[in-house]
Each structure stands twice: as structure tokens, then as C-alpha cells.
A and B are shown apart, each in its own frame.
Chain A
Amino acid sequence: MPVDTKRLRGPEESQSPWLFVEQEQQSPPDEREDGRRKGQVDVRPIFARCGLVSQAKGSAYIESGKTKVICSVYGPRETERKDETDMKFGRLVCTFRFAPFSCAKRCGWIQSTQEKDLSLALLGSLQPGLCLHRYPRSQIDVSVLVLENDGSALAHAVTCASLALADAGIEMYDLVLGCSLRQEGSDYLLDPTFAEETQEPATESTENRGGMMVALLPSLNQVSGLLCSGDLEQQPLVEAVAACIEGCQRIYSVAQRCLLTAVKKKNPPPDG
């Protein structure tokens, strides 16, 4: 059997030693760690920059708290598939990946089912924002890589991808912004960190626990992506969706400013 001599493979099954450490059962803190408030629309400050990857048609990088996401867009390229829909509309292909060192538990290089699921959610969120009928017989590749996951990875991936698409010059109806939320009992935590997302409940029977991600087209006020799982009653669910929508509106000005800076850098105003 040919042996791969160039790579040092670890044992087939390896586990992190942290799994064997006795975790104290900590009850969820009353205040959020970084000083934001529960039950209020408080998103983490965002740093966004476009045009980092020189080889890509368009790219963007977002940092929010400790979550770092980078996205590259390639295209529109000609595609070979000759479906009837392909003749009239372009095709958008999204790939969502976690870097192996991004989460507490090491992810492999092969795309796991969770990553495929999030790729589909990303595709569904971005598609309504793009004018795909302007790119018939073409394919646009969006590739998102999460460098460090400190919560709300998918939401920031959506924002990052739409900034990269705008940087690439793809025609869009509107930017697509993402915001996520964690519902614990009667309070919601907007833009949760990884610790808040995976927090164990205070008691076994805490009602209304769940996580949600909403992708919004802000100036059209249309929801293009909604992904929610948990155990929620109808009223808290509806309020959570409204809170996420408001969170997205808060990010809008930052995203617009980032794009303006990128455009000005690419085309500096003439002197004089």
C-alpha cells in the first residue's frame, strides 16, 4: 500500500484532553460577559474590510468580537451545465468551511454535514439579493472560511459574503446582512458568543431555549434567510425574529461605510 510519507498523520481517533476534565456545572451568568445587555438589541462592534485577497474577483474580511470570517468571490465564469434554468439565470455556488483550528473541537478538512447544511443556508440567504438573471449561463463561486468561531459564525458569514459580492461588482438588489440570537427563558441574547451559544440551561426544564439566524435585505425589508432550532413558543419566536431584524439594521451603516472605503481606494478621486 502506498504510504503518504510527506504528511505526519496523527492516530485515527484522537480526542482533546479537555473532554476528560470534570466541568463544573456553572449556572448562566446574570450579566453578559462583555458588558452587553440581555433582552436588548446590542450587537458586538464590527470591523469589516474589502479587497484583501488579490487573486479573487472580490473579497471581504469581518471581525466581530473574536469571530473572524473571510470570504472570496470568483466569477462570473462560464458553466457547462445546459439546464433550462441555467440558460436564463446564473448559478450561485456557496461553500462554507470552518478552519480546523477555528472551534474548540478540531474540525477535519473534509466538509462535515453541519458545514454542508450551513452552506445551503448561506446559499438560500444570498440568492434573493443577487440579480442572477443578469448572468445567464454563468456561475458565481462564493467561498467562506471561518478563521475563528466565537459565536454567530453563519450570520457574519452572510454579511461577509454579501460584502465580497459587492466588492466583486456582482449586481445586487441589496446587501444581505445576517444576525443571530440565542433565546434563554424570557431573555434573548443578540449576537451570542460561542460560550453563550453552547451554555447549558440553568435547570432541566427551562422553557424557551433556542438559537436563531436571520438574514435580511435592509432597504427592501425582506427576510432572505431564517434558520431556527430549539424549543420555542410562538410569541417569543416572533419577538426574536423582530429583534434579529433590528440587529441587522444596526449593522447596515457599518457595511455601507466599508464598501465606500473600498470603492474609494480602488478608484481614488482625481486630483484637482
Chain B
Amino acid sequence: YLHVALLFWQQVILCHCTLDDLRVDGRSCEDYRYVEVETDVVSNTSGSARVKLGHTDILVGIKAEIGRPKLDRPNKGCLEFFVDCSANATPEFEGRGGEELGTEIANALYRVYDNERSVDLKSLCITPMEHCWILYTDVLLLQCDGNLFDAISLAIKAALLTPSKIPKVQMMEDEEGTTEIELSDDPFDCVRLNTENVPCIVTLCKIGQRHVVDATLQEKACSVASLLVSVTSKGTITCVRKIGGGSLDPESIYEMIETGKRVGKALHAPLQDILNKEESLGKSREKVGFIG
């Protein structure tokens, strides 16, 4: 989908340098680029976050709405994902160009997040088989510079970790049998989601004999295949997926899983610290927004 044309000699040099643990911008094979996370950027949502990972810019907005639960999961809520690859990011996405990439990312997100293990779906249920909270998660790609999955997963985790404004509701049945929604009078009486098991995705790209974390578009052009590993803060691996058109040696898969688990586990603690700090600043927090 996103092509960066590299000449053959450029690819060779990049592969050789990666063998010596040296990448184009000076990072080591397991280093991430500079990440900026900001939450509560959009006021009409129940939770939102913006993540800038190098030049990749992702905006996630979560809106909670009441709907019918799925038939095979009557006492659980659910998450619905939609990924918008608009022409803002690159002109290749004009019209329906970005739809293929968007569905690929959305399908991967369903597999990673829409299950009981990652998010406490039972707490989203209001009345079994009748009403539940559906979290409509919309992801906007503002800029693409490689490593979309990692940035999107960081943004989703940040958006879920903020005090989501999901109000406490009760369903009341009056004499005629019609159900009414009763909301508490206190606007701050909210349900806070239990997000300790929400995983983070780490994408590892195989370049030559080694694998790198957080590949830029140039490095992606030199790699034949990537492995997507989603890791929770406890170190359990919730999803592994091979993407790309090449094949991998079983030994490299084992190594990549180990690296993915190590890097992924280490991602959660700093993110939690930063978000706690942001929350504690409260009203005095400086909002950077989109211009800063």
C-alpha cells in the first residue's frame, strides 16, 4: 500500500547496518522513536487520544452508545472499530484507495481487542440480551510514516485509560412495559473501565538476518515479512500474526516472539506513568492540541 522506492544498493546497506545494530536514525534494533501521547483532545467523545510516533500521527475517538448485545454474547458489551485512511495522509488514499488498508487494520484490531480477555466486556452490559454499551472506536490516520499498528494500539490504550465518560445508567420498566433509561443526576458519576489487561501491539520487521522494532517506511521496504505481537502488561501474548508477502524461519519466529514480549511488556509502565501524571495535572494541564 504505501510504497517507498529504495534502490537496490540502499537496501543492501540498510540490511548490513542492521546486522551491526545500527539504524538510519541512530537507534538500536529495539528502540522506539520519540512518542508523544495526548488524551482528551476531542470533547464530544467518551475518550480520545492522539499519538505521534515519529511522523506517524494517529487520532482515536471512542464514543459509547447503547445498543443490543450480540446474540452469542448476551451479557457482554462489545467494541466496534473503524479505521479511516483518508487522503490527508497520502494522496494514494484518495477515494477508495485507503479502504483495503483500513479493513486490514480494523480486522486485526477486532482480533486483538474485541474479546473478554483484553477489555472487561461484562462491565459494559446493562440488561442481558436487551441493552449494552457498544464502544465505537474510530481511528483516523493523519500521517503515515510506518508502524501504524503500534501507534494505533498506544492510542487505543490511552483513550481507554482516560476517565471515560460512560455514565451509569439503569433501565426502568414502567407500568405499560416500556423501558426507560434513567441517568443519575451527577454528571461525574461515571463507569470507569478496567483496563489492566488491554494489550499493546509490537510490530517486528525482519530485515536480513535481524529484526527491528518500530520500522520506518524505508526499513519496511527492505523487509520481506513482519510479525505483529500483542502483549499485555503481565507479559501474556494475546495475538500473533504474520503480515507481508514473505516467509519466516521458525527460529526467527521464536526470537521475534521473545523480543516482542520483552519490548511490549516494557511499553505499558511508561504509558501508565505519563497518563497518571496527565490526569493529576487536571485543569492546570497545558493542552497542546493540533497546532503545537
Q: Hey, which bits of chain A sit against chain B, CB under 8 A? A: 15, 19, 84-85, 105, 113-114, 116-117, 120-121, 124, 127-129, 212, 217, 220-234, 237-238, 241-242, 245
Contacts and interface: CB of A to CB of B under 8 A. Distances in A.
A238 B254 contact: yes
Interface string B210-229: 00000000000000010100
A241 B250 contact: yes
Contact of A225 (B235, B238, B242, B261): B242
Given A117-B107, A223-B249, A231 B254 contact: no
Interface of B: 3, 5, 71-72, 103-104, 106-108, 110-112, 115, 117, 225, 227, 235-250, 253-254, 257-258, 261
B112 to A, nearest CB: 8
Contacts of B237: 228, 232-234, 237
Contacts of B238: 229-232
A128 B246 contact: yes
B257 A223 contact: no
A129 B257 CA distance: 23
Given A228-B240, A234-B261, A238-B254, A222 B248 contact: yes
B110 A113 contact: yes
A190 B252 CA distance: 23
A113 B235 CA distance: 29
A124 B242 contact: yes
A238 B237 CA distance: 11
A128 B244 CA distance: 9
B79 to A, nearest CB: 13
A212 B237 CA distance: 12
B200 to A, nearest CB: 15
Given A228-B240, A234-B261, A113 B103 contact: yes
A217 B117 contact: no
Interface centre among A212, A230, A242 (most CB of B within 10 A): A230
Contact of A232 (B104, B236, B245, B247): B236
Contacts of A15: 71
Given A228-B241, A237-B257, 13 more contacts: A15-B71, A19-B71, A121-B241, A124-B242, A124-B243, A128-B245, A128-B246, A222-B248, A222-B249, A226-B248, A231-B238, A234-B235, A237-B237
Contacts of B240: 212, 226-228, 237
A223 B247 contact: yes
8 contacts: A117-B107, A120-B104, A222-B248, A229-B111, A229-B238, A234-B235, A234-B258, A241-B253
B244 A124 contact: yes
Given A113-B110, A232-B236, A233-B235, A226 B244 contact: no
A33 to B, nearest CB: 22
Nearest to B106: A113
A155 B249 CA distance: 19
A133 B108 CA distance: 29
Contacts of B72: 19, 105
Nearest to A220: B247
A85 B235 CA distance: 39
Contacts of B257: 234, 237-238
Contact of A231 (B117, B227, B253): B117
Contacts of B117: 230-231
A87 to B, nearest CB: 13
B245 A226 contact: no
A128 B241 contact: no
A245 B247 contact: no
Nearest to A16: B71
A226 B227 contact: yes
A87 B81 CA distance: 35
Which 4 pairs across A and B sit closest by C-beta, in order of nearness? Answer: A128-B247, A222-B247, A117-B107, A228-B240
Interface centre among B103, B106, B108, B257 (most CB of A within 10 A): B257
A116 B110 CA distance: 12
Contacts of A129: 247
Given A222-B248, A238-B257, A241-B254, A116 B71 contact: no
A212 to B, nearest CB: 8
Interface centre among A121, A217, A229, A242 (most CB of B within 10 A): A229
A227 B236 contact: no
A250 to B, nearest CB: 16
Contacts of B248: 222-224, 226
Given A238-B257, A245-B250, A116 B242 contact: no
A84 B6 CA distance: 13
Contacts of B107: 113-114, 116-117, 120
Contacts of B254: 238, 241
Nearest to B231: A234
B110 A224 contact: no
